[in-house]
Structure 1
Amino acid sequence: MTDSPAKTGPLKGIKVVELAGIGPGPYAGQLLSDMGADVIVIDRPGGSLVPKAIDARGKRSMVLDLKKPEAVAALLKIVATADVLIEGLRPGVTERMGVGPDVCHAINPRLIYGRMTGWGQTGPWSQMAGHDINYIGMTGVLNAIGKDGQPPVPPLNMIGDFGGGSMFLVNGILAAIIERAQTGRGNIVDAAIVDGTHSLMSFVHGMAGLGQWRTKREANLLDGAAPFYRCYMTADGKFMAVGCIEPQFFAAMMERLPIDREAYGAQHDHAAFAKQHEMLEDVFATKTRDAWEAVFAGTDACVTPVLDYVEAASHPVNAERHAVVTDGRWLHPQVAPRLATQALPTHFDIATKGADYAAILAEAGLGTDDISQLIAAGAVVANKD
C-alpha cells in the first residue's frame, strides 16, 4: 500500500476520482496525473477488460463493489474531498448507482463532474454502444481517409477516442477549474466523442466553405491526392512521408531528386498529378528509406522517414528530447506539453489494482475500524490483482 504520491506540476493539490473504464476516460486521467493531479481510480471487482498499463501511470487504485450501498457511501466520502470526478459510463448509470452529479454536488458543490460518452448524454443514440470507428464514421472523418473506391481506413483509435474524447474532456475540466476559482462552484463537463470529433473537423469545414474541399476521397490537399502530400515506398519496402505543401519547400525537395523539372511540370497542375505520382514513386523506389533520410536530413523539404513506434523511440530527433522513456517493459511517451516549472520524469509508477485503499479511505476520514467493516461487507476488495 502506498501513501498519497509526491506530485509536481501545475495541478498539484488537485484530487481526481476516476471511475474505472477503458480508452478516453483513463487517458484523460493520465493527462491530469502527468500534470500533477492526484488521480484515484475506483476499480471494479474481478478481472479488467484491459490490464493496467501506461494510462494508469502516476495514479492510485482501490477496488469498490458499487453494487453494495456501503461502497457507494465510501465513494461519496472520497468525492466529498475531491476536485474532479471522471466517469465514462452510459448516460444515467451513475445516477442509478447513487453517485450522479446531483448527489455529488449536494455533498461537494465545488466538484467538477466530468462525463465522457460516445454519442452524448442526450439524443437518439445516447444509450447505444459504439467504438471509435463508429463515432468518427458519423462525423465525416472516417469517410475522408483512405483510397478512392476502397473502404475507408480506420486511423487506429486516435481521432475519436483520444482526440475527440480525452482532449476535449481535459479541456473542459481545466476550463471548469479556472471558472471555479472565480465562482467557487463546480460544474458538469459533458464531453462526447462525436462533439469533439466534429470540432476537429473545423479545418475541413473551413476549407469546404472556401470551395477547396470535396467529400470524395483522394480529391483534396491533405488526403493523398497531391503528389507533394503522401507517402512513397522505398527500395527496402519502407516509406518516406512527403509534405512539401509550400512552394519553397516543394522546391527544396525537387532540388534533391533526380527528376527533370520541366518533364515533371507545375506543382499544382492537377492534370499532371497522375504522371507526377508515378515519377515520384519511381524515384523513391531507387533508394532505401535510410538513404533518403540522409538526403533530406536538415533541409526544409518536409520529407521524412515513416517509422514504427519502436524505431520512433530511438530515433535521434525523439531521443534528444527524451520523447519516449524506456521504463521496464514499457515505452512511456513523455509528459506533454512540457512546462518550464515541471521536471520531466525518468520513471513512471503504474497503479496496482486495489493497492491503495487504506491510504485513500484514511484521507477521506475513515478510521481503521471503518475500513475493516467495509472489507468484511465486501464493499472494499483489499487484495491486489
Structure 2
Amino acid sequence: MSAPLAGLKVLDFSTLLPGPFASMLLADMGAEVLRIESPTRMDLLRVLPPHDRGTSASHAYLNRNKRSLALDLKKPAAIEVVKQLVAEYDIVLDQFRPGVMDKLGIGYAALKAVNPQLIYCAITGYGQTGPYKDRAGHDINYLALSGSSAYTGRKDSGPLPLGLQVADVAGGSLHGVIGILAAVVKRQASGQGDFIDISMTDCAFSLNAMSAAGYLAAGQEPEREGHALNGGSFYDYYQARDGQWFAVGSLEPQFMQQLCAALGKPELAKQGLDQRPEVQQALKAAIAEAFAEHDGSHWQQVFAPLDACVEPVLSFAEACKHPQLKARELTQSVPLKAGSSEVQTQLACPIRFAEPLPAARFAGAALGAHGAEVLAELGLTEVQIAQLRADKVLA
C-alpha cells in the first residue's frame, strides 16, 4: 500500500524523547524522516541503557526508519546544507529552547524565506512565550506545574513518579503530530506553511480534562483521593493474598453487580452509586478484604469470563504475552540495518488503517550513517562531500 504520509519529508532536529517519538510516528506512517544531528554533542539517548548488541534499545526504537545526517550547525557551510534541504522538505521539527535555531540562522523566519510552504513545529518545555520560556525542565516538572501532580498518588504519601512520560509523549509528541498533520491539511487548501508552538506544560495542563472542567466551571478543586477516579471511590487497585494487584473499574451498576457477586458479597452492590466519602471508604475496605482472601490465580479465573471491568495488573513482560495485545500485533521485528537478517523486537505503531502500514525498514542508525547518501541526493559531488568532512562540517 501507499502509506498514509508517503511523500511528506521531515527534517528532525530533536533529541531524547518528545521530538523523536513524534517523528517516529510520522515515519511509521510513511513520512521520510531525516535526523540532523550534532557530530560533537551526542544525543544522550544513544548511550541510554539497556543496550542490545552494543546499541541503546531506546535509540534503536525511537529512531527507526530515520536517516541520520551529522552536521556541525555552528559552521556556515552546515547552515547552507540545511537551507538546501529545506527547499525540498515539508516539515521541520525543532526541540531546542526558544531562539536557539534563530541564533544559528535556521529559525522559522529564515527557513520560511527559503520555502514559504514549510511547516515548522517547535516542541519545548514551556513554549515560545512567557516567563518560563527559557527555563529547563523534565517531564516531572511539567506535570508538577500543570496541576496534575497535586491530585495523583495518595494523601499520606503524596504524588507518584508515574514511570510513563506523560508530558513528553502524551503532551509534546502526540500534540506535535496533531499540530503537524493539521497544518498539512491547512496547507493543502491555502498553499501556506505554518509555525506550530507546542509546550509540553501547556499540553499536560490540557490533559487535566475533566478535573479542569470541574474547577473552571464549578470551582471544585481536584484533590488527592478526592474524586471517583483518583482513589476517592472504590475505583482503585486491590491486592490478592499472594501480592497480585487487580484494577477494579466497575463503575456502572451492571458491572458493580458482577463484581460484588464474584467477591461473594452481592449486598455491597447498592453502595457503588453512593458517593458519600464514608460509604466509599467502607466499600473499599470490604472489597480489599475480599480480594485478600485468595491468591491472584483464583481471582484471575473468577473474573476472566466476566464483563465486570476487573483486570490483573500485569508486568510489562506479562503484557507482551497477553492474548489481546498479541492479537493486536503490538510488537514487531525490525532489521538492525536495512536488508539485514539481524532483527530487534520493538513496539509497533498502534495506529491501524484499513490496509497495514509498511514493515519497518531499519532500527535507529549510527550517527551520520546517511550523510554521503543525503548530500549526493542534493547534488553535491564526492569532492565536495569530502571537503565538508575535512572541514569538520560533516561527520
The alignment's TM-score, normalised by the length of structure 1, stands at 0.91
Question: What is the Cα-based RMSD across aligned positions, in Å?
Answer: 2.0
Report the CA distance between 1:326 and its aligned residue.
5.3
Instruction: Check whether the contact 1:249–1:300 (CA below 8 A) recurs between aligned residues.
Output: yes
Equivalences for residues 88-99 of structure 1 within 5 A: 88-99=95-106
- Where do 5+ consecutive residues of structure 1 fail to align? 1-6
Name the counterpart of 2:339: none
- For 1:276-302, what per-residue CA distance to the aligned partner results, in whole angstroms no more than 9, with x for missing partners? 222111211233333322211242200
Name the counterpart of 2:273: 268
**Residue 251 of structure 2 is aligned with which of 235, 245, 248?**
245
- Where do 5+ consecutive residues of structure 2 fail to align? 47-58, 335-341
Name the counterpart of 1:4: none
Instruction: Check whether the contact 1:214–1:220 (CA below 8 A) recurs between aligned residues.
Output: no
CA distance in structure 1 between the aligned counterparts of 2:303 and 2:357, rounded to whole angstroms: 33
CA distance in structure 2 between the aligned counterparts of 1:213 and 1:291, rounded to whole angstroms: 40
Name the counterpart of 1:223: 230
Instruction: Check whether the contact 1:84–1:113 (CA below 8 A) recurs between aligned residues.
Output: yes
In terms of mean alpha carbon deviation, does 100-109 or 342-351 score higher?
342-351
In terms of mean alpha carbon deviation, does 323-332 or 199-208 score higher?
323-332
The yes-or-no answer on 1:40 pairing with 2:34 is yes
Name the counterpart of 2:17: 23
Instruction: Check whether the contact 2:250–2:308 (CA below 8 A) recurs between aligned residues.
Output: yes
Structure 1 residue runs of 4+, over 4 Å off? Answer: 209-213, 326-331
**Residue 259 of structure 1 is aligned with which of 260, 265, 271?**
265
- For 1:53-109, what per-residue CA distance to the aligned partner results, in whole angstroms no more than 9, with x for missing partners? 311011111111111111111122111111100010000000001110011011111
Report the CA distance between 1:134 and its aligned residue.
0.9
1:122 is paired with a residue of what secondary structure? coil
Report the CA distance between 1:14 and its aligned residue.
0.6
The alpha-carbon distance between structure 1 residues 347 and 299, as it changes in their structure 2 partners (threshold 3 A), is farther
The alpha-carbon distance between structure 1 residues 127 and 209, as it changes in their structure 2 partners (threshold 3 A), is closer
- For 1:110-141, what per-residue CA distance to the aligned partner results, in whole angstroms no more than 9, with x for missing partners? 11001001111011011110111111111111
Structure 2 counterpart of 1:371, one-letter code: I
The yes-or-no answer on 1:336 pairing with 2:350 is yes
Count, aligned residues = 373
**Residue 90 of structure 2 is aligned with which of 76, 80, 83?**
83
The alpha-carbon distance between structure 1 residues 140 and 319, as it changes in their structure 2 partners (threshold 3 A), is same
CA distance in structure 2 between the aligned counterparts of 1:211 and 1:128, rounded to whole angstroms: 33
Structure 1 counterpart of 2:377, one-letter code: E
Name the counterpart of 1:235: 241
**Residue 57 of structure 1 is aligned with which of 64, 77, 82?**
64
Name the counterpart of 1:357: 371
Percentage identity across paired residues of the two chains? 35
The alpha-carbon distance between structure 1 residues 181 and 346, as it changes in their structure 2 partners (threshold 3 A), is closer
Report the CA distance between 1:346 and its aligned residue.
6.9
Structure 2 counterpart of 1:141, one-letter code: S
